[in-house]
Every structure is written in C-alpha cells, then in structure tokens.
Amino acid sequence: MRKKGTKNHNYSAEFKISVIMDMRANHLGYRETARKYNIAANDSQGKDRLKVWERIYLEEGAEGLMTERRGRKSTGRPKKKPLDKEIENDLIAENQRLKERNEYLEMEIEYIKKLSALVLAEEQKNGKKTKYFCGKRKRNGAKLPFEITNGLKRSLR
C-alpha cells in the first residue's frame, strides 16, 4: 500500500522507451535501472514496473508503450469489422436484384388478380360458368380459372 503524501508517477512513452533501450544497451538489471532513473521508491515496485515495460516493449514494440492501459477494459459489444469493398458491392448488387425480383412478382400477382376479376366479371355478365378450376381460392371465395392461371405462368417464363 502506498504511503500518504507520495504521488503516483505517470511516465511518458518516450521516457519508458529510453529507459528500456538504455537498460538493454548497457546490460543493466531491473534494480540498477530503477535506481539510476529513480523510478520507484521501493526497489520491488521499480523492478516490477520495468519488467512490465520490457515485456510490453518486446511483445508490441514502442507503440505498445504509448497506449494507455489503466482502467477497466471494455466488456461491451465488440465493434463490427468493416466488410471488404468487393463483398459489400456483391451484397448491394444481390439486394438490388432481389428488390427487382420482388417488384416483378408483385406485379405478376396484381396482373393475375385483375385478369381473374375481368374473367369473372365477363362470366357474370354472360351468365356462363367456367369449366376448369384450379383449387386455389381468392380472398372473397371466388376460384381462379385453371386455364387463365396456367396460361399466364407459361407466358411469363
């Protein structure tokens, strides 16, 4: 535990790099380097601090010493990695193709509805009944003529 009246030192990245470089160039130990640069009042604290700096320097390089490591780590949702441009363009093209296909199918359904309504109106006007029906019913209960729907499907292919 820290004594009252002592300050926590916040060392700059440049200072840390110069200390580690000097320690490695002159083959100094952790305690010698801590005493030379007056890093910590207690020998074990300075030694441990230098060990951490050296490990970071060896693993991550000089850039590793420049990052702030204090505080809690983020445990939130991980950030999404951006997609490659090629994949993004493929997804956009596929989305556009599916929208066009959906629009085409919606128009086809509307065409079938209007055509069946015209045929039913014509039959009611003439008083005739259709001979062939498919088993599908519209919402109002009327059946669609088999000849009309079958012929339409063939013509749209």
pLDDT in tens, 117-156: 999 998 888 876 655 445 555 555 555 554 455 444 444 4
- pLDDT band of residue 80 (cuts 50, 70, 90) is confident
| CA–CA separation, 13 and 67 (whole Å) | 8
Lookup result for tokens 């079958």:
150
The model scores a pTM over 0.75: no
Rg (CA), the chain: 39
Burial 128-153 (b: 16+ CB within 10 A, else e): eeeeeeeeeeeeeeeebbeebbeeee
Say which residue, 21 or 40, is predicted with more confidence: 21
**Predicted pLDDT at 42:** 65
